[in-house]
Amino acid sequence: MFQTEYDVIVVGGGHAGSEAAAAAANMGSKTLLVTMNLQNIAQMSCNPAMGGIAKGQIVREIDALGGYSGIVSDTSAIQFKMLNKSKGPAMWSPRVQSDRMRFAEDWRLMLENTPNLDFYQEMVSGLIVENNIVKGVKTSLGLEIKAKSVVLTNGTFLNGLIHIGDKNFGGGRAGEKAATGITEQLVSFGFESGRMKTGTPPRVDGRSLDYSKMIEQPGDENPEKFSYLDITKPLTKQRSCFMSYTSPEVHDLLREGFERSPMFNGRIKSLGPRYCPSIEDKINRFADKDRHQLFIEPEGWNTVEMYINGFSTSLPEDVQFKALSSVAGFKNVKFFRPGYAIEYDYFPPTQLQHTLETKLIEGLYFAGQINGTTGYEEAASQGLMAGINAALKIQEREAFILSRSEAYIGVLIDDLITKGTEEPYRMFTSRAEYRTLLRQDNADFRLTPKAFELGLASEKRLKRMEEKQNKAEAFVMFFADTSVKHEEINPILESKDSALMKQSDKMQKIFSRPNITIDDMRKVASVETYIQENNLDNEVIEQAEIQIKYSGYIEKEKNNADKLNRLENIKIPKNFDYSKLKSMSLEAREKLNKIQPVTISQASRISGVSPSDVSVLLVYMGR
């Protein structure tokens, strides 16, 4: 029924699976995407939004690497915000509200327009494995489909169990079946599996809310967008969100349900996402806080369905309802559906290599929530990397690994496979040592050349990026090389309460002052003339501004990263036996034997491996 053998089979059409399928196919691999329901491709299981702090950076990295998440986020956006604009540019994080239906439909159409990519709707119930090498998949109807490699992206579906109050039932997502068979088979192959949980808030009827009691949250005045490509455009109109607050009364009402809560009565044992807690978790852990923010987010351009961000819960539905009804603006709230929690199987990601290939079975890759992460962006980026590496391996090309100083994606994967995770892992800027380097504005500079080498960026795209880079650099040089007369600059400085100049000086010096912005500098005639003559667009101007104003930080981090890279270059031989390093702590030896880090640097990041353990290792390696 299928062609003799696919290069890559991707199991699951969520965020991870969709990116994996696109990447493998775009790299020339004959790819098949098998998913339980072709009408549910790239569903947003939880909030209708992409990006946000650290996550927005990931979306831009995916885009720079030729993934589709950025493009689809742009075409389906109903609101754009650059978060953290008041902080340094390393913290700036783009985020959109999405039209849930548009998002899924646009993803599906993008995939349909991808050559080399076939589709099949069915549940995969197991793998075909011979001599620890994957050979394909088996479906629930008993079909066997052959492939050189398989990427598993099952999300929250493996033995998914949905909880609401004291009731629970099987399901992979509200209204969808759970997937069975795969966990059991993998465990029989020697994989370790675990359980995690996550939750989602109620969806309500926007017509039943009183927005006059809430605070409107409009989008940015000058919205930007995710994709570096010019095929998408920034929004010209936007839809607002709203903000409201819980109250002590609401908390009391919620507490009434704690006895019947699967979280508190021990029915759910697995760990949920610490930084995306349920409302019951929040009022339990932060008992002194008498209110929590709620964001009321539209699910699309035209629908009246609203997502209650901040009110994730698995309390009994009557408790959810009573408590939410007491929130300002929610007096007459009508539910579309209650919140719920879901428990599902994951596989501790220390069982993976940096390529996301499993250590136990060759050609088998895991990506997304199955690796213990949470979030669309985390899932999508892993899918992209697994898809790329599956394709590279088949083409007998070198693996594609991003270091921690190159991309958040590098941090994510290195964290996962080095440290593992006991609770759903989500990305934060604080996880990145070099976050001044890993900005949302320069993901293209960092990654487009790599994408081009991989075959995921066209030459035109590369050229466009290089032109932007050159223009920005030239503009930086212009500030470094060009002087301004103090008569000309002083009125500007005066207006900003900034110390006046005694004589003319290089403009860079003035521009470096924290409170002097590009808008101030543009009042200098030669600056504005340069911009006009060189036809600089906002992206280039912003880029130059960041490079000038933050050059100190950037340089420092670059140096640190270079140091790390030197450690990164000290490779540890494959299957190295740490037991013989008796001067190392026992814990370190055990952990190192299990994780089998590839470099000294990776070894140093394993929890339980101390600096002195690293020294032992360095000595042994003759350094």
Ligand X SMILES: Cc1cc2nc3c(=O)[nH]c(=O)nc-3n(C[C@H](O)[C@H](O)[C@H](O)COP(=O)(O)OP(=O)(O)OC[C@H]3O[C@@H](n4cnc5c(N)ncnc54)[C@H](O)[C@@H]3O)c2cc1C
Binding residues for NAD(+): 272-286
Count of positions on this chain that bind ligand X (CB under 6 A) = 38
| Residue 36 Cβ vs a copy of itself, minimum distance, rounded to whole Å | 6
| Stretch in the footprint of ligand X (CB under 6 A) among 88-96, 183-191, 192-200, 502-510 | 192-200
Report what 153 binds from ligand X, a copy of itself, none; CB cut-off 5-8 Å by kind.
ligand X
Task: Cite the annotated binding site by residue number.
Answer: 12-17, 272-286
Cα(183)–Cα(347) distance, rounded to whole angstroms? 9
Tell me which residues in 164-183 interact with ligand X (CB under 6 A).
Answer: 172-173, 179, 182
Cα(585)–Cα(610) distance, rounded to whole angstroms? 9
* Nearer of residues 342 and 394 to ligand X, judged by Cβ: 342
User: Which residue is listed with tokens 């590369």?
Assistant: 462
Q: What is the dihedral of CA 31, 36, 41, 44, to 10 degrees?
A: -130
Question: For residue 471, how many C-alpha atoms fall within 13 Å in the half-sphere facing its CB?
Answer: 20
Binding map of ligand X across residues 271-300, x = CB under 6 A, - = no contact = -----x------------------------
| Residue 262 Cβ vs a copy of itself, minimum distance, rounded to whole Å | 13
Q: Binding residue for ligand X (CB under 6 A) from 8, 9, 10, 16?
A: 16
13 touches ligand X by CB under 6 A = yes
* Nearer of residues 318 and 481 to a copy of itself, judged by Cβ: 318
* Nearer of residues 16 and 253 to ligand X, judged by Cβ: 16
Tell me which residues in 197-236 interact with ligand X (CB under 6 A).
Answer: 198-200
Residue 146 makes CB contacts below 8 A (sequence gap 6+) with 2, 4, 5, 6, 128, 135, 136
| Residue 557 Cβ vs ligand X, minimum distance, rounded to whole Å | 27
| Residue 302 Cβ vs a copy of itself, minimum distance, rounded to whole Å | 5
* Nearer of residues 319 and 432 to a copy of itself, judged by Cβ: 319
Cα(393)–Cα(486) distance, rounded to whole angstroms? 61
Tell me which residues in 303-322 interact with ligand X (CB under 6 A).
Answer: 312
Q: Binding residue for ligand X (CB under 6 A) from 26, 29, 69, 374?
A: 374
Report the greatest alpha carbon distance in the chain: 83
Task: Cite the annotated binding site for FAD by residue number.
Answer: 12-17
Q: Which of 415, 420, 414, 409 is nearest to 387 (CA)?
A: 409
| Stretch in the footprint of ligand X (CB under 6 A) among 33-41, 405-413, 458-466, 517-525 | 33-41
| Residue 598 Cβ vs ligand X, minimum distance, rounded to whole Å | 25
Cα(559)–Cα(40) distance, rounded to whole angstroms? 46
Question: What is the b/e burial string over 173-188, where b = at least 16 CB atoms within 10 angstroms of the residue's CB?
Answer: beebebbbbbbeebee
Question: What is the b/e burial string over 37-65, where b = at least 16 CB atoms within 10 angstroms of the residue's CB?
Answer: eeebbbbbbbbbbbbbbbbbbbbbbbbbb
| Stretch in the footprint of ligand X (CB under 6 A) among 12-20, 454-462, 463-471, 596-604 | 12-20
Residues contributing to the site for a copy of itself (CB under 8 A): 1, 36-40, 101, 105, 108-109, 112-113, 118-122, 140-143, 164-165, 167, 169, 174-177, 203, 205, 302-305, 317-318, 321, 334-338
- Going from the C-alpha of 522 to that of each of 48, 486, 507, the distances in angstroms are 39, 15, 11
Report what 200 binds from a copy of itself, ligand X, none; CB cut-off 5-8 Å by kind.
ligand X
* Nearer of residues 334 and 558 to a copy of itself, judged by Cβ: 334
379 touches ligand X by CB under 6 A = yes
Q: Say how far residue 491 (Cα) sits from the centre of its chain.
A: 45
- How are beta strands 49-51 and 6-11 bridged, if at all? unpaired
* Nearer of residues 14 and 597 to ligand X, judged by Cβ: 14
User: Which residue is listed with tokens 């050059």?
Assistant: 551
Q: Which of 230, 222, 184 is nearest to 80 (CA)?
A: 222
Report what 169 binds from ligand X, a copy of itself, none; CB cut-off 5-8 Å by kind.
a copy of itself
| Residue 596 Cβ vs ligand X, minimum distance, rounded to whole Å | 25
Amino acid at 539: E
Report what 376 binds from a copy of itself, ligand X, none; CB cut-off 5-8 Å by kind.
ligand X
Report what 620 binds from a copy of itself, ligand X, none; CB cut-off 5-8 Å by kind.
none
| Residue 170 Cβ vs a copy of itself, minimum distance, rounded to whole Å | 10
- How are beta strands 364-366 and 144-152 bridged, if at all? parallel
Check if the beta carbon of residue 473 is closer than 8 Å to that of residue 543.
no
Q: Which of 380, 346, 385 is nearest to 365 (CA)?
A: 385
Report what 143 binds from ligand X, a copy of itself, none; CB cut-off 5-8 Å by kind.
a copy of itself
Cα(206)–Cα(329) distance, rounded to whole angstroms? 11
Report what 312 binds from a copy of itself, ligand X, none; CB cut-off 5-8 Å by kind.
ligand X
Check if the beta carbon of residue 479 is closer than 8 Å to that of residue 470.
no
Residue 293 makes CB contacts below 8 A (sequence gap 6+) with 243, 244, 245, 310
Report what 375 binds from ligand X, a copy of itself, none; CB cut-off 5-8 Å by kind.
ligand X
Tell me which residues touch ligand X (CB under 6 A).
Answer: 11-17, 34-37, 40, 45-46, 123-124, 153-157, 172-173, 179, 182, 198-200, 276, 312, 342, 368-369, 374-376, 379, 426
